[in-house]
Structures are given as C-alpha cells and as structure tokens.
Amino acid sequence: MDMAMATFNSHDCGDCPIRHRAVCARCDDRELDELEQIKYYRSYEAGQTVVWSGDPMDFVGSVVTGIATLTQTMEDGRRQMVGLLLPSDFVGRPGRERAAYDVTATTDIVMCCFRKKPFEEMMLRTPHIGQRLLEMTLDELDAAREWMLLLGRKTAREKIASLVAIIAKRDASANGAGRERAVTFDLPLTREAMADYLGLTLETVSRQISALRRDHVIEMQGKRHVTIPDMDRLLEEAGDDADGGMLV
Amino acid sequence: MDMAMATFNSHDCGDCPIRHRAVCARCDDRELDELEQIKYYRSYEAGQTVVWSGDPMDFVGSVVTGIATLTQTMEDGRRQMVGLLLPSDFVGRPGRERAAYDVTATTDIVMCCFRKKPFEEMMLRTPHIGQRLLEMTLDELDAAREWMLLLGRKTAREKIASLVAIIAKRDASANGAGRERAVTFDLPLTREAMADYLGLTLETVSRQISALRRDHVIEMQGKRHVTIPDMDRLLEEAGDDADGGMLV
DNA sequence: CGCAGAATTGATACATCTCAAGCTGGGTGG
DNA sequence: CCACCCAGCTTGAGATGTATCAATTCTGCG
C-alpha cells in the first residue's frame, strides 16, 4: 500500500495525474465536486486480484497509477488476457451487477473508485461523463480489434514484436519522447502474462524474445529492461504498416 | 437492390424492424422526427464492399436487414474479421474521419444511414442517442473479448462449435424460440468468411465441420443449412460453460 | 450441358505446444 | 556472510495441430 501510494498522495482531483484523460476528463469544477463526494482510493499490491469474474461488484473506477489486466479463464484453466489497463483506463460497467472478467494488479496500483449506484445516477444527469466514457469505450474496442488481428493471424515472432511495440509506444507517449532515438523501458509483464496476452505458451514467448535479441531487433539489460535500437525495424517485424497503424 | 429491399419497404421509423434495438432505441417521437430529417437508406448486394478501410466516411448508420462484416487486412493479405454486423448493429464512429476497417455485405443488406456531421451535432443535444450508443459499444466490447478468448485459446474444433453456437443463439433469440428442441438455421457465411472469423484456413474449417458432422454434434442439409440436435452438447464442444457464458 | 465458384479431402510441411531439464538472481535464514 | 531456495526464465527434444499445396467433387447457373 505504502509503496503504491508513494507516487500518488493527493486526494484532490485538481492535481490528479489522470485528470485530463480519465472518465472525468470533460467534467467541469462543479461536476468534479460532485464526483469527489462519491470517490475513494484503493491500493493493491502487485499480484493481487482486484475482482474475480462473476463476483458482485459495487463500484466502478479508474486506474490512477500502475498496471492491471483483464483476463478470461476457461473451465480447464486456459487463460486469455482480454484487456491491459493503464493509468486512466476505466474498470467496470455501469448497469452490470457482476464482474465479467478477473481483474489483476500486475504492478502495485492505485485506483480511484466510485460507488456504482451514485455513479450511475450521476451519469444520467451528467452527459460529460457518458460522452467521455463512450469515447474511451470506442478506443478500447479499436484496441480489442487490433488485438484480434494479432491473435488470429500473426506469428509468434510478430506477436512478441507487436507487444513490445505497443509498450514502447505507450511509454514514448507518456514520456513525450519522439521516435528519433533509441527507446528504453521496462516490460511490466512476466513471461507468463505476456503468453496470456498473446495466446502463446510462456516457452514460446521466451524463445521468440531470445530470437529477436539474437537478431538485434531488441536489446535487453536483464530480463525486463528493453532497448529498441530501431523502431521502424521493430514495427516491420510486428507486421504493422510502418506508421504503426495510427488512426488519426 | 430489389432483393434486399423485398423484406423492407418502409421509410417510416414507426414500423422499422430495428426500432427498439438500434442506436435510436431510446429516442422519443420528437427525436425520431429529427433523425428522419438526416436519414436515408442504402442497399448493397451480397459481396459488395460498403466502405474500404482508410477511405473517408461521411456517414454513420445501422444495419436494418442482412449481415455485414468488419475485416482488417495485413499488407501481405492475411485477413481477420473483427466484427460481425447483424440487424440493428451500428457502423462508423462519431468523430472519426476515415473508416478503420473494411465493411463488406455478406448477404444483401439494407442500411439506415445518417449524414455524419448532423448526426454528431444531434448527439451533443440528445443524450438518448449517446446513452444507447454507449450501451451498444459496451456490448460489442464484451463480444470482442469473448472472441479474443476464442482466437487465442480455443482449438479449431472448439472455434467451429463456438461459431455455430453463436449463430444458433442469435437465431433463437430472433425467432423467440427457447432451448427446448432442435434448432435449425442457415450459416450466413462462406467457409472462407468463417475462416477469417476464426483465424483458421478454409480447409481447416471444412475439415472440422466434417468432423462435427461425423460425430453428430451438428447435422447438415446441403452446405449451408444446419440442425443442432442437442444444444448442450454443442456448447460443451465449444468449451463454454453450459449456460453459454450468459452475463445477465 | 458444362462451366465456375465453393467445398471437400488427401499428403506433407512446419510452427507451436508439451514435457523435461537446467539456469539465474534476488531474498532469507542459519 | 554465505548457502540455499524458489519463482521466473531459458533451452532442448519430441509430439501434435494446423497450414500449405494439390487434386477432386459438389452445386447452382448461364
């Protein structure tokens, strides 16, 4: 808890790091005040389960810091990650009683939660929230569809390259860096989580990472820290068009 | 065109077959009047492309009758279907200039289109539209995530069984039938389209259909008409829990 | 009737999975 | 402080499911 809160101590929406990107992005000061009435923070340590699929869920909320995942599990244990939740991403569905997926913290996380009932009522009165949520949901749907192409049609090597590219891109946009020079960052996922993301086994993930390393598409310092010497080369390996499929 | 319009001749929202399910579902009479101002119908024949990915798109709209697909294509030609559009499903994204996917009619279809600019303006004034669109988008996101599990973790046999189950379920709900007795319906997709849906080759699709037929999980009259003697058996083969993963 | 697109079936190749054996590095208790 | 331990990771060898290439067989239609 202390670890997770270390980088985030404020309870004031005004200096919230995700103020301009989360579900509250379009809210004016009055609306923010109202949201503050029903909000509270919760922290989870890396590895903890936030909610189990099928469990009742009496809140919705936003990831403030850290990374969480949405996964689906079949009866025999096969697992597929279906969402990667980064800061500002929304968890839960207004109008739904129970969680549809397992939500797991992969790093320490802080969430900004709203009690579901009051939030739903406020949504009806406050178009700004619904509008922003629609926008975010459409973005998620696009991401899910890109992911479907990856799962259905890409080779293991392309899958790994794609995942690395996605994380690199997110990091670049978070840190405001351009594409001009070598990018470096940490993989926030274990090999097993990557396998669940990509529809592979963890052994195949490991092998393909080794192969990309051998071919100098990526460089690694330790098991988690990655350097991309040539982003265009990586995107080529990912099978995306050179511009990374950006939809303006 | 005539074929497609045969089952739908009205231009009055009042007797529209998707009135209660489409993006206009929550609209009152006044709002419907306003929508009628900016709406027009278009028909496409089976096989026709409605829009190409990347092309400018100056309308949004709903499928009224027939079935269309959303597909993504890689540079080397690999294709993955990322959406199956049934009557009442929405096409296009408010705020987006260009189509993100290829939209193709797989049967003759009729679409109810709205000019994009006026529709966007009306959305800002009319919470009912945005609310319904949010609901529909969240449903699509759930469907996309179920599909991701299929693409990432299911075997070819399970994929085919799942697809048949999905179509059977939709048909049952359209025709109001319960689960009690044998269901029969037409596959609205070619083997190739099924392959694109499932992330398989068309040969594998064909082989697995033959296998399910041999094992009496499905029965077929001709190449398209299917009978399900035992729905629970089919769901078992699909790898879903017995209740089909219904989220109430 | 015969052609063309759609579907089936067969033989083989190959990518990924499975099972199994080590490796590595950071934390812990003796 | 060091040896051990253990989770996470890597690598290997062999099995297997699906893709690929190729040949027929259907089926609807001009």
Distance in Å from C13's C1' to B145's CA comes to 33
Q: In percent, how much of chain A has pLDDT > 90?
A: 83
* Average model confidence (pLDDT) across chain A: 91
Nearest nucleotide by C1' from B154 CA?
D17
- As a whole number of angstroms, the distance between CA A218 and CA A6 comes to 31
Q: Distances in Å between the alpha carbon of A160 and those of A29, A165, A171, B98?
A: 43, 8, 17, 29
Per DSSP, A25 falls in state T
List of long-range contacts for B116-119, beta carbons under 8 Å, 24+ apart: B116/B57, B116/B58, B116/B59, B116/B60, B116/B92, B117/B58, B118/B37, B118/B38, B119/B38, B119/B59, B119/B60, B119/B94
Distance in Å from C7's C1' to B157's CA comes to 18
* Range B52-65 average pLDDT: 97
For residue A85, pLDDT over 70 is answered with: yes
Tell me the one-letter amino acid at A128.
H
Question: Residues in chain B, how many?
Answer: 248
Tokens at B62, concatenated: 């709903």
Q: Which residue has the higher pLDDT, B205 or B4?
A: B205
Q: Which residue has the higher pLDDT, B139 or B3?
A: B139
Under DSSP, is residue A104 helix (H, G, I), strand (E, B) or coil?
strand
Query: Considering only CA atoms, which residue is closest to the C1' of nucleotide D19?
Result: B201
Residue from the list B135, B142, B151 with its beta carbon closest to the beta carbon of A152? B151
Residues 4-63 of B with CB under 8 A from A: none
For residue A216, pLDDT over 50 is answered with: yes
> What's the confidence (pLDDT) of residue A173?
73
Tell me the one-letter amino acid at A14.
G
For residue A1, pLDDT over 80 is answered with: no
Under DSSP, is residue A73 helix (H, G, I), strand (E, B) or coil?
strand
For residue A36, pLDDT over 90 is answered with: yes
Tell me which H or E stretch contains A103.
strand A102-105
> What's the confidence (pLDDT) of residue B10?
63
Question: Residues in chain A, how many?
Answer: 248
- For the stretch B12-51, pLDDT in tens is 898 899 999 999 999 999 999 999 999 999 999 999 999 9
Nearest to A93 by CA among A58, A139, A50: A58
* Range B202-215 average pLDDT: 98
Predicted confidence band at A179 (pLDDT cuts at 50, 70, 90)? low
Q: How many helices (H) and strands (E) does chain A have?
A: 8, 11
- For the stretch A66-82, pLDDT in tens is 999 999 999 999 999 99
Nearest to B129 by CA among A134, A31, A96: A134
> What's the confidence (pLDDT) of residue B139?
97
For residue A4, pLDDT over 50 is answered with: no
Question: How near does any CA of chain A get to the CA of B139, in Å?
Answer: 10
The full set of domains in chain A, from first to last, is 3-148 (2.60.120.10), 155-237 (1.10.10.10)
Ranking A113-117, B155-159, B173-177, B193-197 by mean pLDDT, the lowest is B173-177
Contact B163, B194 (CB under 8 A): yes
For B96, other C-beta atoms within 10 Å of its C-beta total: 15
Predicted confidence band at A176 (pLDDT cuts at 50, 70, 90)? low
> What's the confidence (pLDDT) of residue A11?
75
> What's the confidence (pLDDT) of residue A170?
83
Q: How far, rounded to the nearest angstrom, does the alpha carbon of residue A160 sit from its chain's CA centroid?
A: 17
For residue A215, pLDDT over 80 is answered with: yes
* Range A127-136 average pLDDT: 97
> What's the confidence (pLDDT) of residue B176?
62
Contact B8, B18 (CB under 8 A): no
For residue B210, pLDDT over 70 is answered with: yes
For residue A244, pLDDT over 50 is answered with: no
Nearest to B83 by CA among A141, A118, A136: A141
> What's the confidence (pLDDT) of residue B178?
55
* Average model confidence (pLDDT) across chain B: 91
Q: In percent, how much of chain A has pLDDT > 70?
A: 90
Nearest to B62 by CA among B38, B84, B86, B82: B86
Across the interface, whether the CB atoms of A83 and B135 are under 8 A apart is answered no
Per DSSP, A181 falls in state S
* Range A183-195 average pLDDT: 94
For B207, other C-beta atoms within 10 Å of its C-beta total: 15
Q: Which residue has the higher pLDDT, B85 or B172?
A: B85
3-state secondary structure chain B: CHHHHCCCCCCCHHHCCCCCCCCCCCCCHHHHHHHHHHEEEEEECCCCEEECCCCECCEEEEEEECCEEEEEECCCCCEEEEEEECCCCEECCCCCCECCCEEEECCCEEEEEEEHHHHHHHHHHCHHHHHHHHHHHHHHHHHHHHHHHHHHHCCHHHHHHHHHHHHHHHHHHHCCCCCCCCEEEECCCCHHHHHHHHCCCHHHHHHHHHHHHHCCCCEEECCCEEEECCHHHHHHHHCCCCCCCCCC
Q: Strand C neighbours with CB under 7 A?
A: A 155-157, 199-201, 203-204, 222-223; B 190-192, 202-203, 205-207, 209-210, 223-224
Q: Sign (positive/negative) of CA torsion A101, B87, B52, B12?
A: negative
Return the residue matching tokens 């990322």: B82
Across the interface, whether the CB atoms of B133 and A131 are under 8 A apart is answered no
For residue A21, pLDDT over 70 is answered with: yes
Ranking A129-133, A209-213, B183-187 by mean pLDDT, the lowest is B183-187
- For the stretch B237-246, pLDDT in tens is 999 875 544 4
- As a whole number of angstroms, the distance between CA A54 and CA A12 comes to 33
Contact B244, B169 (CB under 8 A): yes
For residue B194, pLDDT over 50 is answered with: yes
Across the interface, whether the CB atoms of B138 and A137 are under 8 A apart is answered yes
- As a whole number of angstroms, the distance between CA B217 and CA B174 comes to 23
